[in-house]
Amino acid sequence: MKNITKEMLIDDLQSIGIGRGDMIYVHSSIKSIGWLENGADTLTGAFLSVLTAEGTLAVPTHTLSFVKRGVPPYEANKTPSELGMYPNAVWKHPLAKRSGHASHSSAAIGAKAKYLTENHDPTNALGYDSPVYRMVRSGGKILLIGVTHVNNTTVHLAESMAAPYCTINYDHDSWGEDLHEKLSDGSVVIHRQTEFPGCSGGFDVIDGVLSERGLIRYGKIGNADSRLVEASGMIETVTAMIRSRPDILLCKRPDCPSCPPRRRLLAALQ
């Protein structure tokens, strides 16, 4: 099996439609790309070469620092992401900025990194004034490398904008409503949440609709099947889907801690 080089990745990123000055929000299964020369930094180097200093690379760096989970308070410069190797590589980059939301932070490198990550509403994970909201408003694109919309965090923004169940806590056993964050002076603050991202197991229902509307480009990044999605068009499309059928993104697993209570709430609102 051949090594995947930075030059190969540059070609792949350009072929799928990424260029100078773009803002890219990346979800990835880095192992699906193949054996990367110099590890995850090879992918970051390829992104920064293609985007140039005018562009911005961003990733989710969620930590789920809920008090109820018994984990330490969130520290932006210390707490590892639970989303795998690549998000952790990006937020540790010397030029990266990371947002302050204690469960659903994002990190970014580039021209608009500060804009994306500063003043992330500590009570609102993925809704208005979150990094994904600003990314969408800025004409950003979502790149899914070796993963599908089940990993597409930005879909939760459409839920936050259109789904009535997002302001109701669904009593996840290990989440609760309170996050804790450790500030630079060593004090700990509690943030009571007003918006609750839930299950994403049903999100792949949007793929065909987005494809029909020309909002997705498919390609390969290394060995990984990948999708480049126009974020603004995706949000417009998915919010309309939710308003037409409010349960459309909810999964069908009976043991899901999130979706069955949300279906019951929707039924009660009819």
Q: What confidence category does residue 1 fall into, taking pLDDT thresholds of 50, 70 and 90?
A: low
pLDDT at residue 159 in the model: 96
Cα 203 to Cα 197: distance, rounded to the nearest angstrom:
13
pLDDT at residue 50 in the model: 98
Of 94, 77, 16, the closest CA to residue 50 belongs to 16
pLDDT at residue 174 in the model: 66
pTM score:
0.95
143 pLDDT higher than 80:
yes
SS3 assignment, position 192: strand
Of 36, 41, 22, 26, the closest CA to residue 93 belongs to 41
pLDDT at residue 22 in the model: 98
Residues 33 and 224: beta-carbon distance below 8 Å: yes
Q: What confidence category does residue 173 fall into, taking pLDDT thresholds of 50, 70 and 90?
A: low
Instruction: Give me the percent of the chain exceeding a pLDDT of 70.
Output: 98
Least confident interval from 79-93, 132-146, 170-184, 229-243: 170-184
Strand segments (E) across 6-119: 23-28, 56-60, 97-98, 106-110
pLDDT at residue 83 in the model: 94
| Strand order, beta sheet including 216-221 | 97-98, 106-110, 56-60, 23-28, 141-145, 224-230, 216-221
For residues 216-224, average pLDDT: 97
For residues 139-156, average pLDDT: 98
Cα 58 to Cα 91: distance, rounded to the nearest angstrom:
9
pLDDT at residue 269 in the model: 87
pLDDT at residue 171 in the model: 61
Q: What confidence category does residue 172 fall into, taking pLDDT thresholds of 50, 70 and 90?
A: low
Least confident interval from 145-159, 163-177, 234-248: 163-177
For residues 135-160, average pLDDT: 97
Indicate the residue type of 198: G
Q: What is the residue-averaged pLDDT of the chain?
A: 94
Indicate the residue type of 214: G
